Amino acid sequence: MSAYVNGKQYLQVTTLRMTPQLKILLTIIRDKNTKRNDFIFYADRINRLLVEEGLNFLPVREKKIETRTGAQYVGAEFVGKICAVPIMRAGLSMESSIREVAKRIRIGHILIQRNEETAEAMFFKEWLPDDIHERFVFILDPMLATGGSANVTIRRLKERGVKEEKIIYINLVAAPEGIEAVLSVFPGIRIITAEIDEGLNDRAYIIPGLGDFGDMYFGTE
């Protein structure tokens, strides 16, 4: 389903259907009293839901097969290859979820760090497959705040020949400011998120948010 951000509808933004189960999962990972082991377990559950939703946007074609009963079945298969690109460090937390549902996926990485004084994204290094321009690319990053890291990553992918319409940016929690910052520059990509929060505070942190995702997931608080 499309999403409304600051009163404007964005067809390129998909939020997960807010079921009671998803609301419970989000409540657990947002709760400051949740222990790290529980945080990891329930964040991984949400990550898998997000990845499954992302796969729904890949093109498919008809495929006819024969079942074990000898009957014919008209099914489907994906068209094209996939590459996942976690934005290091926090994006690494989502890598296992995509490996669980996409058996032959290639994995690239990009290292971007946020300048805590300016909130700007600083690019350091990338590790991307040579044929990434031929693939659909899932960018993995749990938090979409200012959109700086996302924009840097998308720009690097486009420089490698990846088309915007083949890029899907997957995150757990997004700020309206980040969504608008990304789509104002790259309107052809798709964003998939579990929930859109109220906005950013004066330190460019998502509110209500859940704190530093990477610190909590990797135990470096």
Positions marked catalytic: 114, 118, 212, 215
- 20 CB contacts (<8 Å, ≥6 apart)? none
d(CA 163, CA 188): 8
Q: Give how far the C-alpha of residue 135 lies from the chain's centroid of Cα atoms, to the nearest Å.
A: 16
Sign of CA dihedral 23, 26, 31, 36: positive
Instruction: For residue 158, give the 3-state DSSP assignment.
Output: helix
- 197 CB contacts (<8 Å, ≥6 apart)? 173, 174, 175, 176, 206, 207, 208, 209
d(CA 142, CA 87): 9
